[in-house]
Chain A
Amino acid sequence: MTDLAHIRNFSIVAHIDHGKSTLADRLIQMTDTVAERDMKEQLLDAMDIERERGITIKANTVRIDYTADNGEQYVLNLIDTPGHVDFAYEVSRSMRAVEGSLLVVDSTQGVEAQTLANVYQAIDADHELIPVLNKIDLPASDLDRAAEQIEDVIGIDASGAIPVSAKTGEGIRETLEAIVHHLPPPAGDETAPLKAMLVDSKYDLYLGVVVLVRIIDGRMKKGDRIKMMQTGATYNVERIGVFRPAMTVVESLGPGEIGFITASIKQVRDTRVGDTITHEKKPCAEALPGFKPSVPVVFCGLFPVDSAQFEDLRDAIDKLALNDASFSFEMESSAALGFGFRCGFLGLLHLEVIRDRIEREYDIELITTAPSVIYHVYTKDGEMLELHNPADMPDMANVDHIEEPRIKATILVPDEFLGDVLKLCQDRRGIQEELTYAGSRAMVVYDLPLNEVVFDFYDRLKSVTKGYASFDYQMTGYREDNLVKMSILVNDEPVDALSTMVHRDRAEMRGRAMVEKLKDLIPRHMFKIPIQAAIGGKVIARETLSAMRKDVTAKCYGGDASRKRKLLDKQKAGKKKMRQFGKVDIPQEAFISALKMDG
């Protein structure tokens, strides 16, 4: 049991690759929280994908015991938050559970767009901030420049910034001292009725749903009958404990403490992040201000390459959904691709992570259709339809107007690449809102349609800036524009999985680019194949894939029969990776590649 004055709760704000997880590892190691032999790189990133990509997807937490230079014992609770824009909501809810943040900036790189987005969330949550300048062991480290950027771009005092090398351990002690002395202890009243925040939850194969909680007032212990104030559901606390970072059972948790409970909760969906947990018998008077639920913004279809694996896919998606309430799905059937699921994600990274996990952990090869956003389609009779899939677009004759989601995009870029970035944003129908300089770096803010960004904007941005730009965005709302559904016809048959929503002014260009791409992606057949882009009944672009002229093997004698037969068998297996439209076989990669824009 620790008194409030000796508890510090904090998170770490950093851009991807700026060393957040390594710093967390080092803090844990320097305090002997984990035995040396159990130490592995990026301790808190538990999933393979997290380790591999060097990103954090789920919020993780660890309790660190620290004896400060003043000889007193402190409990430090670190919540390691996701750094990526897709998981901005996870960041925001974790921030509410702690009182301060370490602001980690790579001293060789300076402030990046993601640092900005996350630091503003920390400021919104009234955090005390401790600037940490990381990677001072590298020759390119420039402390003055990094500190200046923190002051210029973020607008906070960087005079007390701590130089750190998470790699060598230099500055870690100073960081721990700063946490103790500069961050405020939590407030709370142990005698008041129980009030706890549901910070996050995850599914554990053995324990069921594990709920991450922050106690505000009162005390929670094993056996307590608790109530979720928003859902009204009641449970018995079966286990209560803290993360060190392994789960360690404790007697109880009091004000200011962060830990976990299990209570026979079946799936993550039954818990509402941001909900207030209290005692059923003696509830607190007022719930914590509720958090908004996370809403998927990017949609795509996931189909098994081998249609016989549909049930396996359903199973995989059900299991993943147990642990990820932000991911939505419903069954979808496509004339082209058979049965699959239309899935909603928080963003593109979220999409890729889920897709990778299905392919890797469940061994199901997937066809992913083009990502799309939700359009608001207003019909002539005044109804508003949420369009998740361009294939479901109603007849234009019944449509009054269409609105699309917009974002505010912040891009930080060295000024030598600024021209290319402006051109890219302009090409994607962006409206410039802000352009400022900090030293030799420019910060541009654009109002952009989300649908121009979901697909390959980030890839393009990386490529035109040789990887030097950083990018972040937030949704701003819906706006009407001149949008149309563009269909693709292959051999005169519409291919539903290739239809997209486009801006009318850009339709010809997109249509031309798509039919040209498809001409390269579809193999030659025994007949010529027209490939067309059309809006309604009007063809706006057309290419013809000429017929295969000759493919016969020149020599085939007694010694070739086995080889030729095996080749045919291989061709048969390869055909499984194609989808048949009428008489035309379209390779699965075409469904994504056709939509990539080169410019």
Chain B
Amino acid sequence: MRSDWQNGGFGIYVHWPFCEAKCPYCDFNSHVAREIDHPRWLRAYLKEIEAYGAALPGRVVSSVFFGGGTPSLMQPEVVAAVIEKIRETWPIANDLEVTLEANPGSVEAGRFRSYREGGVSRVSMGVQALNNADLRALGRLHSVEEARAAFETARHAFDRVSFDLIYARQRQTPESWRQELSEAVNMVVDHLSLYQLTIEQGTAFGDRYNAGRLKGIPEDDDAAQMYEITQEITQKAGYDAYEVSNHARPGSECRHNMVYWRYGDYVGIGPGAHGRISIDGSRFATEALKQPNAWLEATERSTGEKLREALTAEDQSTEMLLMGLRLSEGVSISRFEALAGSPLDQERITELDELGVLGVSGDKLMATQKGRFVLNSVLAKLLGG
């Protein structure tokens, strides 16, 4: 029998937890360290890969993703050795995608060719803004000029290049976003991740916001308008809004992230990494220790995994739906029902359909463009009490 995870494929996520500086908006598991023992980190990664290889033998890997932190601070030999180990451990898909998140600085750009030689096929660059004042406000260390240069280098070094921009920044207007995004789509990039700035608790921006000192964050209605502009400009330029915040030229979707959104299996390696792994008919959520040193030491002793818990049928169907409805392709109703063990509430679907936020086409259930704006409400209604 086919397992549910096969609908989404199998990917490996590797987390590199270090950055040169902590950005004030970032709530990812990132740390600034004075000294990093690269060979020691490599040994730990290899040990974890081996352990997961033993638990999930014979899986075909369709993607590897180096995220962070700032993985472009990893020594190219470490990256290459990790990729090599993955290739030794599992069968590899013909079109394996290996993505590395990169800072668009000049130093990193100098390493691009080495990464390429080590097996990286795609970079995702944290450009974030196309004007220097805003880059400084976001705490970024690079300039627009450096970013453009790094992008050019990347375009020649890798098969595929994506970059991130953040909008609804301080004092940004819908009109200025329109201009900035128009510039971005002219940069011959095949994939764009366009995120609304989210003020997260526990970040420097969060603290400043709570104290009333983060001025000029656009109001909800302006932010919504910027999201509309985002859809309009990317669409005109030939990008598919294949996910809430992700836009790609046809065929250039991020395969790794598709594993998440299609609710496949993924192994999470490195501090704070999450995984979903199916073993013997059960699906487990895994989570690794967050603190870099704690993870390193635990991995050397036994494993960096701090939690492995079986997900209930309801958990799994909920996760499948909340990830899948982010995609323009939507989710399979029969797949949901098989996972949940019970049908979706037809009345609610009809109500949401009448509101114009949800559509059904055969076995597919998808959020409309209007629905994708208010996806949290749609999900709450669909699954809600």
Contact of A549 among B266, B351, B373 (CB under 8 A): B373
Known A554-B196, A571-B380; contact A583-B276, beta-carbon cutoff 8 A: no
**Neighbouring B residues of A527 by C-beta, 8 Å:** 355
**Neighbouring B residues of A552 by C-beta, 8 Å:** 244, 326, 372-376
B383 near A568 (CB under 8 angstroms)?
A: yes
Q: How far is the CA of A565 from the CA of B283 in the complex (A)?
A: 15
- Of A244-252, A273-281, A555-563, the stretch lying at the interface with chain B is A555-563
- Of B38-46, B139-147, B184-192, B217-225, the stretch lying at the interface with chain A is B217-225
Contact with A along B274-294 (1 / 0, CB 8 A): 111000000001010000000
Whether, in the assembled complex, A286 has its beta carbon less than 8 Å from a beta carbon of chain B, the answer is: no
Whether, in the assembled complex, B336 has its beta carbon less than 8 Å from a beta carbon of chain A, the answer is: no
Contact with A along B221-233 (1 / 0, CB 8 A): 1011001000000
A572 near B351 (CB under 8 angstroms)?
A: no
Q: How far is the CA of A565 from the CA of B311 in the complex (A)?
A: 11
B384 near A550 (CB under 8 angstroms)?
A: no
**Neighbouring B residues of A550 by C-beta, 8 Å:** 196, 220, 223-224, 227, 373-374
Known A552-B376, A555-B198; contact A565-B223, beta-carbon cutoff 8 A: no
**Neighbouring B residues of A565 by C-beta, 8 Å:** 315, 318-319, 322
Known A527-B355, A568-B322, A572-B384; contact A559-B377, beta-carbon cutoff 8 A: no
B318 near A568 (CB under 8 angstroms)?
A: yes
**Neighbouring A residues of B268 by C-beta, 8 Å:** 558-559
Whether, in the assembled complex, A48 has its beta carbon less than 8 Å from a beta carbon of chain B, the answer is: no
**Neighbouring A residues of B372 by C-beta, 8 Å:** 552
Within 8 A of B (CB), among A565-593: 565, 568, 571-573, 575-576, 583
Q: Which residue of B lies closest to A564 (CB)?
A: B322
**Neighbouring A residues of B287 by C-beta, 8 Å:** 562
Q: Which residue of A lies closest to B245 (CB)?
A: A554
Within 8 A of A (CB), among B324-382: 326, 351, 355, 357, 372-381
A568 near B323 (CB under 8 angstroms)?
A: no
Q: Which residue of B lies closest to A583 (CB)?
A: B351
B220 near A557 (CB under 8 angstroms)?
A: no
Whether, in the assembled complex, A553 has its beta carbon less than 8 Å from a beta carbon of chain B, the answer is: yes
Known A551-B377, A552-B372, A565-B318; contact A558-B285, beta-carbon cutoff 8 A: no
Q: Which residue of B lies closest to A571 (CB)?
A: B380
Number of interface residues, chain B, beta carbon within 8 A: 46
B385 near A572 (CB under 8 angstroms)?
A: yes
Q: How far is the CA of A501 from the CA of B290 in the complex (A)?
A: 59
A559 near B244 (CB under 8 angstroms)?
A: no
Q: How far is the CA of A549 from the CA of B221 in the complex (A)?
A: 7
Whether, in the assembled complex, B18 has its beta carbon less than 8 Å from a beta carbon of chain A, the answer is: no
Whether, in the assembled complex, A548 has its beta carbon less than 8 Å from a beta carbon of chain B, the answer is: yes
Within 8 A of A (CB), among B238-294: 244-245, 257, 259-260, 266, 268, 272-276, 285, 287
**Neighbouring B residues of A555 by C-beta, 8 Å:** 195, 198, 245
A549 near B196 (CB under 8 angstroms)?
A: no
Whether, in the assembled complex, A5 has its beta carbon less than 8 Å from a beta carbon of chain B, the answer is: no
A551 near B375 (CB under 8 angstroms)?
A: yes
Q: How far is the CA of A555 from the CA of B275 in the complex (A)?
A: 17
**Neighbouring A residues of B384 by C-beta, 8 Å:** 571-572, 575
Nearest first, the 10 A-B pairs at minimum CB distance are A549-B224, A552-B375, A550-B224, A559-B274, A572-B385, A551-B376, A554-B195, A558-B260, A550-B373, A554-B196
* A residues neighboring B (CB under 8 Å): 525-527, 548-559, 561-562, 564-565, 568, 571-573, 575-576, 583
Q: Offer 29 A-B interface pairs, CB within 8 angstroms, sorted by A.
A: A526-B357, A549-B220, A549-B221, A549-B224, A550-B196, A550-B373, A551-B373, A551-B374, A551-B375, A552-B372, A554-B195, A554-B197, A554-B244, A556-B260, A558-B13, A558-B260, A558-B276, A559-B272, A559-B273, A561-B274, A561-B322, A564-B319, A565-B315, A565-B322, A568-B383, A571-B380, A572-B380, A572-B384, A573-B385
